[in-house]
Chain A
Amino acid sequence: MASGFGPRIVWDSGWKVPGLEFLGTFQITETVTVTWLIMIGLIIFSILSTKRLEKVPKRLQLVLEILVGAINNLTAQTMGEDKKNFAPYMGTLLIFLAIANLSGLIGLRPPTADVNTTIGLALMTFTMIHVNGVRKKGIGKYLKGFTEPLIPLLPLNIIGELATPISLGFRLFGNIIGGLIIMNLIYGALAGLTTMIFGPSALLPIFQAGLPAVLHVYFDLFAGVLQSFIFTMLTMVYVAMAMD
């Protein structure tokens, strides 16, 4: 278990960033590959599904309209009617995260099981919180918000703001990597059980085939969808809070 549960390195260029050699070589990991696969899939799907839009929707368009309507509704309900224009970003985030978390079901490594993905997304949320806060309130009122309710609480407020992206990123990462590790351990244990009972030349991986399905439903389906929903909801709540 020396390599741990980190993402596999697909391609190592051997190239180092000049001046930043201590960071190591420039690598393409499984995370990046799966992220790009999801991105390509989403782009192709959105192009194909919006190619022939009709006044009276049929099948695919109807499903899409329900999805878009639900995301618009959710954003308007959570952030307030005046911040409805955040819906495209929140919808993209929700769909991307849901597909990324569910990609474990088809044998890919979920990109969200890498701390780089989740912290990256959390930093986007962090930027959105503060840029929109300054834009809405003005720089003076925004800075004054840090000294509320008392001026001595300034350091605490700053630490609290800095903790937001960390807790957002690690919540998603911890949930997904936790599920991934538990599933890996269970697969290992079941493979050991098969070998123990039927010998190393067992024809069928009889235990690994059926039993883990129940756990996949919990760790991948339930936790994955719930965590993507929670990440999006928290992003909406934080941005809306910074703007009012």
Chain B
Amino acid sequence: MEQITGRALILACSAIGAGLAMIAGIGPGIGQGYAAGKGAEGVGRQPEAQGDIIRTMLLGAAVAETTGIYGLIIALVLLFANPLIGLL
């Protein structure tokens, strides 16, 4: 078998790690879906407050998104600005 260099190993593992980091997308997906569902419920119950409900919902959805964005940043760092290669 051909010799695997340390650099290649780190790159391959970083790619797997980036994929694993994006599993974080599940959380915001559930959270935003829940927020949207509750928002729809609220609009159904009180159609005249639609503007306020949508604004609050977007704000809550944006906050719920934070963890997913952290996962994305980790994935991007692993792919494009890998700090681990510097350790070799």
Contacts and interface: CB of A to CB of B under 8 A. Distances in A.
A167 to B, nearest CB: 5
A170 B59 contact: no
Interface of A: 1, 4-6, 167, 170-171, 173-175, 177-178, 181, 226-227, 229-230, 233-234, 237
Contacts, number: 41
Interface string B48-88: 00000001001100110110011011001001110000000
Contact of B70 (A4, A170, A177): A170
Interface residues of B, number: 15
B69 A181 contact: no
A174 B69 contact: yes
A1 B80 CA distance: 8
Interface of A is mostly: helix
Contacts of A226: 58
B70 A234 contact: no
Contacts of B62: 171, 227, 230, 233-234
A229 B65 contact: no
Given A230-B58, A237-B59, A171 B76 contact: no
9 contacts: A1-B80, A6-B80, A167-B66, A170-B66, A170-B73, A171-B65, A174-B76, A229-B58, A234-B62
